[in-house]
Amino acid sequence: MREVTSPAPSPHPYVWHTSSYSGASGTECVEVAINVPDVVGVRDSKRRDGAMLEFPGEAWSAFIQAATAH
């Protein structure tokens, strides 16, 4: 995992997506970007200009698998 803080931009051209389970305004959730090979970006939808996290794709897949296993 790598934290990227403002104003240093990420070297990746992320396309962000908010969960359909987010509130009506779309600002009560995290946003995830999966369009970059082998890297997943995650940020707080309330602080889009703030820090974001970058995870290796394999680590993110393992997290999602574990979170949805039950």
Write down the pTM of the prediction.
0.71
Read off the pLDDT of each residue in 14-42 and give the average, rounded to a whole number. 83
- Element housing 62 (H / E): helix 57-67
Ranges of each domain in the chain: 2-67
- Per residue in 29-40, pLDDT (tens digit) is 889 999 999 999
- Per residue in 48-63, pLDDT (tens digit) is 888 889 999 999 999 9
Rg of the chain over Cα atoms, rounded to whole angstroms, equals 12
* Residues pairing with 2 in the sheet: 54
Is the pLDDT reported for residue 7 higher than 50? no
Residues in the chain: 70
**Sequence-ordered strand ranges (E) for the chain:** 2-4, 17-18, 30-33, 39-44, 52-56
C-alpha torsion sign, points 1, 21, 37, 42? negative
